[in-house]
A and B are shown apart, each in its own frame.
Chain A
């Protein structure tokens, strides 16, 4: 019979998390031995009926109390720093990552690669490459959990969240939903496949998507009538979208916001929220009309407008 104690380690972050875990485990074991050991010794030595010195012993109470207040506090501060440093690392994705979009919905994970490949409850990634996942939810809160990488991120409806990892080992690992999301919560899981670079390229090619995300987004951009106002038109004044992504946008209120994915998302779903300086609020809200998957595609298209050259699939940008 096997008694596994650790899940597989598939990334450096996993190894570092295990180190922190071991550190805490060591200190805890030490404390348990000290405290329980002392208790057991006292219980034995001072059990009723056994002769033992019991007269009042004047102890320097304040000194003792301060010692066992300050020493744990210092140890705790150490672990706080250790945990915070790791968290800082986990929460801030490095630049130049392979970007993949994940959409959680009751009860499946939908994955969209920039090249247009789509998967459900499966995520294929190359080994040795930083992967950044942008997570969105179609309905309730889910949580994208990769135990082998020791990371998870809640997927909150109404906003984008992000998660990154760099797989060190080829293999198949669990992909789970860890935030309760309704009836089939425990069935909302699948696998992440870490593949070697050439295998991954093969896998991408084998999927043979008809169009990239951005191309699909462009189709939707016309289908939903966005192009009617936002493409050089004389009749309706709408802010131009070319080169918008990643630039600062001055708002009517005088604020300046960065046109990132979250901003584009909000502007499509809640156009009245941030009105661009010099424009009026004429745009209808697409809340409830456009799905999270389509949003990902439209935003991919808008991002592709930001570059001077036409958007290239991520794999070819290397």
Chain B
């Protein structure tokens, strides 16, 4: 309980008010993030509708195996994140900490796979610009431009998430949290779920839609 009292900032009256404020703040931030990615999705939709054939041909070159593995990794990490919060609520902070570490590991695994995939994409001359594969139509570069930007921005979010999770793990280790007070853990969980959801949209858009249509 001592933790809970020291966690109350001086401008709040009571802990539930502070928790509600943090929650509303995180949801508001996520609304902002949705529009941040929304801009990219809009760019994708407009160009996909303008150049369906080029996009279909271009998407054939994404590495669907890596994409699928990453989907599995990220979904599993969503589960471990949720389990960590569940454990904290049950006052089992040791278990909670372990799940956080597992989530970090899965996040890093996601980034590693993504790195391998980027490496392969690069070698396949799928980097837009003068060295782009000549066998693909010019508008395929638009697809690949979007691929790099969308997955790149998403990866930045994963990296940010992993860093925050490291701080959370440290806070758990220092005994900062309790069953009553673990708001930062919950907020990170919300953020991590958002990062998951964005990938759930990116995966079909970049790897699956019309993949074999134009071959």
Contact = CB atoms under 8 A, between A and B. Distances in A.
* A touching B, CB within 8 angstroms: yes
Interface of A: 253, 270, 272-273, 275, 281, 285, 287
A253 to B, nearest CB: 7
A155 to B, nearest CB: 20
B53 interface: yes
User: Chain B at the A interface: mostly helix, strand, loop or mixed?
Assistant: loop
A254 to B, nearest CB: 12
B152 interface: no
A281 B52 CA distance: 15
A270 B142 CA distance: 13
B138 A285 contact: yes
**A-B complex: 8 closest residue pairs judged by Cβ atoms:** A272-B137, A285-B138, A273-B51, A272-B54, A270-B138, A287-B138, A273-B139, A272-B53
Nearest to B140: A272
A253 B139 contact: no
A140 B119 CA distance: 35
Contacts of B52: 253
B59 to A, nearest CB: 15
A50 to B, nearest CB: 45
Contacts of B138: 270, 272, 285, 287
User: Chain A at the B interface: mostly helix, strand, loop or mixed?
Assistant: loop
Interface string B173-214: 000000000000000000000000000000000000000000
Given A253-B52, A273-B53, 11 more contacts: A253-B53, A270-B137, A270-B138, A272-B53, A272-B54, A272-B137, A272-B139, A273-B139, A275-B53, A285-B138, A287-B138
13 contacts: A253-B52, A253-B53, A270-B137, A270-B138, A272-B53, A272-B54, A272-B139, A273-B51, A273-B53, A273-B137, A273-B139, A275-B53, A287-B138
Contacts of A253: 52-53
Contacts, number: 19
A285 B139 CA distance: 11
A272 B51 CA distance: 9
Interface string B31-61: 0000000000000000000011110000000
A129 B71 CA distance: 64
A271 to B, nearest CB: 9
A275 B139 CA distance: 14
A212 B161 CA distance: 65
B16 to A, nearest CB: 39
Q: Please indicate which of the listed interface residues A253, A270, A273 has the most CB atoms of chain B within 10 Å of its own CB.
A: A273
Contacts of A287: 138
A256 to B, nearest CB: 16
Contacts of A275: 53
A270 B53 contact: no
B72 to A, nearest CB: 34
A272 B138 CA distance: 8
Contacts of B51: 273
B102 to A, nearest CB: 47
Interface in B89-148: 137-139
Nearest to A274: B53
A253 B51 CA distance: 12
A287 B52 CA distance: 20
A15 B164 CA distance: 65
A273 B139 CA distance: 8
Contacts of A270: 137-139
A287 B54 CA distance: 16
A287 B137 CA distance: 12
B193 to A, nearest CB: 39
Nearest to A271: B137
A287 B139 CA distance: 12
A272 B52 CA distance: 11
A275 B54 CA distance: 11
A273 B54 CA distance: 7
Q: Please indicate which of the listed interface residues A272, A275, A285, A287 has the most CB atoms of chain B within 10 Å of its own CB.
A: A272
